Amino acid sequence: MSTDHDIALFAERPWFAANELLAFAVEIVALACLSWWGFTTGHGQLLHIVLGVGTPLPAIVLWSLFAAPKARLRPGLPFVLVVKAVVLGGGAAAVYGVGHPVAAVVMAVVVVANTAVAETLRRTVPGRPAEPEGATGPPGSG
């Protein structure tokens, strides 16, 4: 749930907001690439459908449990980065797997740069708690 405080932070820091939007787009693209790989892998229509739908599902579960902004099981940063590497890196590997190595490298570079900037900016947002949102409640509720 967005608050007036979050909206004000985005208005004050447009680059932060732009990078957050890019991070969301990268996440969606990674899932789409995993699905694309699944739909083009293997022999037979049934296998294409199973892999096309089934390949992104573990990534969605991993992301929602550990890496999403409001994840239920928000572990420390090293584990979150491993989950991001698996999911987002898996998307880049999927692009490589469907025969587009240059696009895969471009995607990997964008993933690394965006993740580094996002994680840095998220920890330096003024007025926001150091812990993930939801871990101790909204700011000012304690």
58-108 per-position pLDDT tens digit: 999 999 999 988 888 888 889 999 999 999 999 999 999 999 999 999 999
d(CA 101, CA 95): 7
4-58 per-position pLDDT tens digit: 656 666 667 778 888 889 999 999 999 999 999 999 988 889 999 999 999 999 9
Cα distances from 113 to residues 76, 88, 108, in angstroms, run 20, 12, 9
d(CA 17, CA 90): 25
d(CA 15, CA 117): 10
